[in-house]
Amino acid sequence: MKFDEVLQFVSFPDVEVKFTSRHETKMNGKDRRDIKFFFNWLHVKGVRHILRVDVEDSTEFPHSDQAISESFNTITVEQLNWRKVDLDPRVICSLGSKVAWGEAGRISSLTCDCKIREITLTWSGNNTALRAWSEPEGLPLLPQLRKIIILGPDDEEMAESQEWVSACMGEFRQRIDRNVLARDNKSIEKKDEDNDGTSKTKDSSDADTDKRNIEIIFVKRGGKGRILENLDTLGQPQPTVESRAAHRWLDSVYAFANRVNQFWMQSLSAIPPSLHDHMASHVVVALIDDGVQAYGSFLSANITGGKSFATGGTNNVASPWYVSELGHGTVMAETIARVCPMVKLYPMRVDTHTSENGEPTLEARSVALAIDAAIQRGAKIILIPWLIEPTKSSSHKLLHSMLQRAHMLDVLLFIPSSAGEGPQALSTFRSYPTFRIGASRDDGGAVNATNSPSEVDFIFPGNEVMIQRDIDNPRRSVGAILDLESSSNINVALAAGLAAVLIYACKLISLKPMSKARSTGEDNDYMNNTYDLTSLRRYRGMMSAFQNLGSVTESRFLKVWEVLDPIVDEMRDSPMENYELKGLIKWFSRLKSIEESNIL
């Protein structure tokens, strides 16, 4: 059996291979090569490129530097997290190189061909390692490096004072910036020298495009969900609940989603199929993006077909909807399904372009056609995670026509706020009721604090928060690997998923009474005493539900745990076969009272 040439993710625990005879494994710390065996096996199976590799190495008997380097002699890796403490930068720079191990130390600073763009380093707290990593012959040598994650020891394990460590890490940042800039400048000069037949003068703006900004993240291994962007915070007390508000948001919503899913599945088995059409029907969320990797993933159970309108502006056959061009649509779909496990997804692939500032945009005509297809499919929620590019009036006329139709049919529309694009970015949607979702930091503050309150309805955890959770749990059993590009506007997917799970929760509190009324012959006026599902499916009803899920901060961050945590606690303690869901019923009843008072 052969594997694909490119694998998305490979993860190894601290595994020991039992070699025989002269190949006896070395567990004395010298020449340990267990993982090399597996990489050789992957090469035999046809693997040549791995996007992300995680290796949990032993602290007592780690692999030798030579074994680590030779593991990647014939396999290219882009994201590496080999948890060997204070990994030698020479090893990192030699990965994927065809240079023999003995020659690795003489690699030219301008010819390093390592493809690593993200490296996670396990740090002992020793400044010697920081200096080695940041020297010109260290990490700045990697031509495609864009991100460094350093996993440092917890306060109790740190031998040096926190002030000293903070100063050392500050110097590390400065050395990385300085040496990367020097390396890139040398590369530009060499390119000019190689262009014999062209002018050696280079426009400054062109030169700037060749220079890199390296993102550096420090994480304490003992801390949960902590990105130490401010080096002065090292050694301070553990973060309060409010300082990790976004993580608490995710914890509460995920717990609520899991409980609703459990009760939903149990309830479906207790009612006759004749009642499934209305109250037990699924919620369809239409995702307009770059496609979704539908097959071979856990999403296959959630996907209910799809459609593509991505033709690249030609009359050629549309690109398949079940393949994600950039991986973005797959991450959005997985996020929705994580917040609402029961949801049915209808992915639609549309043409994507790049704006002048480098941000992805969607082509107006293909989005309009996708909205029309979503309506025909019966989608109650539509997610558009990118802005619409300016284009000719005929395409925008069609788009506005479809948006108007969606509004008339009470389809809930979720879009990103105008982050980084200015108020004009939302002009396409300004005439229609939409949920405009911004991104929050881990403390609940807005990522883009310049957003006008009138341009954002709520802010939910942004991609940096979600990436941090991925770092804390690198060996997830399912899901795409998050990075800043593929997870951009993930906050909008969280909002769409939250809306879907609230609709399921509203359905849930009616299923058992309906079943009971069916069996006893009694009239079922249950919904008249709680909350009308039709109201929740409308813009005003869902907006009211969001606004009453918890207090809203000045930055528009929603503290959902204030409402959801007590409900989850009750559901956890309530036997599913005899559930009453008093907390959930009480909350929906409160929504009904609020809506009635607003009408009066």
Of the candidates 332, 336, 329, 391, the one whose C-alpha atom is nearest the C-alpha of residue 366 is 391
Bigger pLDDT: 426 vs 539: 539
How wide is the angle at C-alpha 382 spanned by C-alphas 381 and 385, nearest 5°? 135
Give the position of tokens 């770092």: 471
Bigger pLDDT: 219 vs 481: 219
Cβ neighbours of residue 82 closer than 8 Å, sequence gap 6 or more: 53, 54, 55, 57, 68
Instruction: Look up residue 240 and give its two tokens.
Output: 């309060």
Beta bridge partner(s), residue 349? 289, 308
**Rounded to whole angstroms, how far apart are CA atoms 57 and 85?**
9
Residue 485 scores a pLDDT above 90? no
Q: Which amino acid is at 477?
A: S
pLDDT, tens digit, 9 for 90 and up, residues 164-214: 877 888 889 889 988 888 887 776 565 556 555 444 444 443 444 445 778
| DSSP-assigned letter for residue 160 | S
Q: Exposure pattern of 31-51 as b/e (b: 16+ CB <10 Å)?
A: ebbbbbbebbebbeeebeebb
Q: Which helix (H) or strand (E) holds 6?
A: strand 6-12
**Rounded to whole angstroms, how far apart are CA atoms 577 and 517?**
16
Using DSSP bridges, classify how beta strands 307-308 and 76-82 pair: parallel, antiparallel or unpaired: unpaired
Q: Which amino acid is at 348?
A: M
Bigger pLDDT: 206 vs 568: 568
Q: Which amino acid is at 470?
A: D
Bigger pLDDT: 123 vs 15: 123
Most confident of the ranges 438-442, 484-488, 516-520: 438-442
Domain 6-18+31-101+110-185+211-230, CATH among 3.80.10, 3.40.50, 1.20.120, 3.30.70:
3.80.10
CA-CA distances (angstroms) from residue 73 to 49, 91, 98, 101, 139?
A: 11, 11, 6, 10, 19
Instruction: Look up residue 486 and give its two tokens.
Output: 């593929």
Are 57 and 83 in contact, with CB atoms under 8 Å apart? yes
Instruction: Look up residue 535 and give its two tokens.
Output: 């109201």
Give the position of tokens 């008997």: 61
Q: Which helix (H) or strand (E) holds 194?
A: helix 162-194
CA-CA distances (angstroms) from residue 369 to 45, 290, 365, 400, 472?
A: 42, 14, 6, 11, 40
Instruction: Look up residue 418 and give its two tokens.
Output: 């105008």
Q: Rounded mean pLDDT of the chain? A: 78
Q: What is the pLDDT of residue 393?
A: 72
Residue 80 scores a pLDDT above 70? yes
31: left (phi over 0), alpha (psi -120 to 50) or beta: left
* Sign, CA torsion 123/125/128/133: positive
Mean predicted confidence (pLDDT) in 298-311: 90
**Rounded to whole angstroms, how far apart are CA atoms 318 and 510?**
42
Mean predicted confidence (pLDDT) in 568-589: 80
Bigger pLDDT: 110 vs 325: 325
Mean predicted confidence (pLDDT) in 293-297: 75
Q: Where are the domains of the chain?
A: 6-18+31-101+110-185+211-230, 248-502, 507-598
Mean predicted confidence (pLDDT) in 520-541: 68
- For residue 567, name the pLDDT band (cuts at 50, 70, 90): very high
pTM: 0.62
Bigger pLDDT: 220 vs 589: 589
Q: What is the pLDDT of residue 344?
A: 96
Of the candidates 364, 339, 342, the one whose C-alpha atom is nearest the C-alpha of residue 351 is 364
The CATH superfamily label for domain 248-502 reads Peptidase S8/S53 domain (3.40.50.200)
pLDDT, tens digit, 9 for 90 and up, residues 396-417: 889 999 999 999 999 999 999 8
Bigger pLDDT: 577 vs 289: 289
Q: What is the pLDDT of residue 276?
A: 61
**Dihedral of the CA atoms 309, 310, 312, 314 (nearest 10)?**
-30
Mean predicted confidence (pLDDT) in 152-168: 76
Are 6-18+31-101+110-185+211-230 and 248-502 in the same CATH fold? Answer: no
Q: What is the pLDDT of residue 192?
A: 57
Map 366-394 to HEC letters.
Answer: HHHHHHHHHHHHCCCEEECCCEECCCCHH
Mean predicted confidence (pLDDT) in 466-476: 62
16: left (phi over 0), alpha (psi -120 to 50) or beta: beta
Q: What is the pLDDT of residue 495?
A: 97
Mean predicted confidence (pLDDT) in 317-334: 87
